Structure 1
Amino acid sequence: MVQASYTAIKHKIEKEILKLQRQAEALRGPVIASIVKTMREYDITPDDVSAAYAKKSTHVRAKKAAPAAPGAKRSVPVKYRHPETGQSWTGRGKAPRWLTSAEAEGASRDSFLIK
């Protein structure tokens, strides 16, 4: 019974799709007629349209920047450096152990700033 129901619903949907496709095609006719009428009015040839469309397409493609690779990260300049060990930190994320232990001993974070 489920199979029969599925088949009937599928057939009904396919029939509706065909009906909508015919309606869409019927809508195109007047639009194309209007475009052709305007082209004749302004003495525009299909070659003119093709050339203009090609220029537009290449112009748009030239402006688009390549998308960044997923996971690509840019480097961040180092902001803090330990004077004795040379260890560094950008200032982003969790503070490193060498910095937190130095702060616990009373040192100021600003004393490790790179100037």
Structure 2
Amino acid sequence: MTTYKEIKNKIAQLEKEAEALRKAELLAVITEIKAKMAEYGISSKDLGVIKNKTRKQPGTPSPARYRNKEGQTWSGRGRKPKWVIEALAAGKTLEDMGYFIG
């Protein structure tokens, strides 16, 4: 009669074998896909793997979203400039004053 411990050991061994087979099959599939991509000139972008998002470079200022009558601007990020604080304290909203650019 087979014991519980023997069955657990068999299971562990089979799991190791299964993982080794999975890795080998995965490597073969990836190699085949890369070959087909090279053969047909397909890129990751064509497959939709890489999105066409452009990222802002670090240190690039954000575009102005708010502007006052004097032409001062604010991106809406970071601390509010003095002119925004004063306008809000006066009971106005950014949209009421026409600061919102877009």
TM-score (normalizing by structure 2): 0.42
Determine which structure has more spread, i.e. the larger CA radius of gyration.
Answer: 1
Q: Which has the higher helix share?
A: 1
Report which structure shows greater RCO (CA 8 Å, sep ≥6): 2
